Amino acid sequence: MNYFDESPGFLDFLAEVPLFFKLFGGALILLVVSVFAYVIIKGFKSWFSNNAAELVRKSARVVDKRTEVWGGSGDSSANTNYFITFEFNDHTRIELHVAANHFGLIVVGDDGELTYQGTRFKGFTRLTDDEKNRVMQ
């Protein structure tokens, strides 16, 4: 008995599958791979863009906070994203994703110095009432 004379097994199964199912399966696999590639490329693009951006420190006021909750059905736990909107002296605004520990310490109406790089939140130093009075004078 020659080893190479045996039937290919799985390939025989594929030979019997109708063309429609082969095309549909191939298109589905292509779609899944394309979506994964798109998400990975978009993530790398954002990461490289943020790394290339300069580190910015500007006076800002906290004008809004929001959360985005996703997941949490069945046995899975819920996840929360935290966002804070800052307004600069020229009335332009930027919304940044922040960690939960920063979100809890920053209050709408706070004035301070925002540090960010691209779309990355780096920190916010709140002005005390004494510092606000000195700036106003």
**Residue 6 three-state SS:** coil
Name the strand (E) or helix (H) holding 107: none
User: Domain spans of the chain?
Assistant: 10-51, 54-136
Which tens digits make up the pLDDT trace of 57-76?
999 999 999 999 998 888 88
Which tens digits make up the pLDDT trace of 2-17?
555 555 566 677 777 7
Instruction: Please choose, from the candidates 116, 112, 113, 109, the residue with its C-alpha nearest in 3D space to the C-alpha of residue 95.
Output: 116
pLDDT at 136 over 90: no
CB 126 within 8 A of CB 112: yes
Candidate CATH numbers 2.40.50.660, 2.30.30.240, 1.10.260.40, 2.40.50.140; the one for domain 54-136: 2.40.50.660
pLDDT at 74: 82
Instruction: Please choose, from the candidates 107, 96, 101, 103, the residue with its C-alpha nearest in 3D space to the C-alpha of residue 56.
Output: 96
